[in-house]
Each structure stands twice: as structure tokens, then as C-alpha cells.
Structure 1
């Protein structure tokens, strides 16, 4: 698998799985009805360093970004987001992207990474904890999950 910095022309290959994941309403706090234009502005923002993972056929199977979580004196705390095409789940794409992002964030001078709103039923919680993230707290019943009803949102942290 190749992980590289995303180019503007990659968006049409990210959008189908981005849309599929967000519209399912199970793992992200973004509006499931986000338009493609709004999604592109959100994901591909110049303020973010965006990466894609390609399999050996050149198919984009996942994407992630790293960006400052806060501004000013706290701008050395990173935030990130990850998406793996559901058709390619279970093949280590998420772990490879996470390890890549953690390395890139540290190399860029970030001291730590924070995830502000991890849906507690998201299977990726196991991945984040296996990579050293801890749950700092949980906002109870903050997320209306389409299958599980009201579930919490974790705030997760890892020092880099």
C-alpha cells in the first residue's frame, strides 16, 4: 500500500466512500446530508495536510488528514480524521493511515493529538486505544446513532 499526500484531483475518488460513510450516520458528527461541495471544502481544506492510501492497483482505499486542533499557543496539538472505503475494510488500511498520520504529525512538530468526538460505538476506538490513545472523557448520549440510539462521544488523546 502506498500512502501519499493527496492532490486536488484525488477528491473524485475520495468522495464516493466519504459520502457513503458520512451518510450512514454511524461514525462522524458531520451532517449525513453534507453536499459534495461542502464535503470537499471540509476534507480538502488548505489548512489540512491530506493523505490517501492506494492499493497495488492505484485504487484509493482510504484517506486521512492532520490539522491543528486549536489555534494560537495551543496550535501544536493536532487533530486528524480517517476514512477507509468500506469495501476495503479489515485489510489494515486504517492502521497504516493512523501510523502514517502519527508519524507525520510528530515530524511537523505537534506535541499531541486529540480526537474531539469519537462515537463510542465506532469500531475504530479499539484501533486508537491500541495505538496509545486514551479516553479523556465521554459526553454521554451526545450522538443519535441510527442503530443504537443515543450513545456517547469520546474525547481521545495521545502524546506524540
Structure 2
């Protein structure tokens, strides 16, 4: 029987030095598939790690019973007058998909964002055919505030829409 994860089951922590292989093991299959991130599917290991761990990004690794099952980054979405809104990227390991890990990671990220003083979270480019992510984000209170028609070239479905999703962090404690 499949059991959903909760925040209590997950251990979220900052990426440690020497974990490049574990992070790449999560990123490579997702980026190679080319159906959820606007990333070149032929991206090198070095470029993928540089993207995920780019300037200003706080990277978290998420474990269950000592096994890494996912990662997310948290970063300011804009500077200046928009610095109170953050952006995140998420990746869940294949074996952990469909078990509530993404939602538990999102809950962890929402708390981390609120704790860091952000007032809102925005996803800038959610591929509309990534129905699992869209459903998770909407159930967590995100609204679709923009639709970019045909903005993503899906490897199997051709040009599909990308969504801008937004949620205020009112009432969330970090």
C-alpha cells in the first residue's frame, strides 16, 4: 500500500559539499526527459549543477531514512521592489514519485521561504502538461496568474503552454 509522506517523514537540509553525485542522480533523468524544465536535455553535469546551485540559491536535499529522495532550491525571484517574492525549483527522485514527497517538499520550502522573510512564492514557468505538479501546486493554494501560450516545446506533444503560478505566504511560519 502506498503511503503519503508528511513533513515529519522528511528530513530537509542544506546541500553539503561532496553531494554533487547525489544531486546529479536526481537532476539528470528529469533534465534528460526534457518535458518539465526549460533546460537543454543534453545539458552537461557541470552546467546542470551550476544551474541548480546558481548564485543566491539555497539548495536543500530531502531525505527519508537517510536516502536522498528529492531536492529543491529557493531564491529571490527578482531584486529591488520584487525581492520579497521567491522562486523555487523542485525535483523528486523516480522511486519517490507519487508518494507525497513533492507536496511534503513544497511544505518544507514554504516554511523555509516564510522563515527567510519572503511574502510570496512564484513559479515562473510551469509546463502545463506537468499535471502532477500543477495539481500539487494548486492544492497547496497556488493560483494560475498567467498563461504563456505555446511557450514550451514538449518533446512528445509539441508546443504547449507554460503557467505562472503564485501564492502569498500569509499565515505560514518558518
Q: Same fold (TM over 0.5)?
A: yes
The counterpart of 1:156, out of the listed 155, 160, 165, is 165
1:127 aligns with 2:149: no
**1:116, CA displacement in angstroms?**
0.6
The counterpart of 1:69, out of the listed 50, 74, 77, is 77
Normalization by structure 2: what TM-score? Answer: 0.88
**Structure 1 unaligned residues grouped into runs of 5+:** none
Normalization by structure 1: what TM-score? Answer: 0.95
Matches of residues 72-87 of structure 1 in structure 2 within 5 Å? 72-87=80-95
Question: 2:151 matched to which residue of 1?
Answer: 142
Q: Secondary structure at the match of 1:9?
A: coil
Question: 2:112 matched to which residue of 1?
Answer: 104
**Structure 2 unaligned residues grouped into runs of 5+:** 1-9, 170-174
Q: Deviations over 1:121-159 (max 9, x none)?
A: 112000000000000111111111112221100001001
**1:77, CA displacement in angstroms?**
0.7
How many equivalent pairs are there? 159
Q: Bigger CA drift: 34-43 or 62-71?
A: 34-43
Q: Bigger CA drift: 127-136 or 143-152?
A: 143-152
Q: Secondary structure at the match of 1:96?
A: helix
1:89 aligns with 2:97: yes
1:116 aligns with 2:120: no
CA distance in 2, matches of 1:157, 1:30: 22
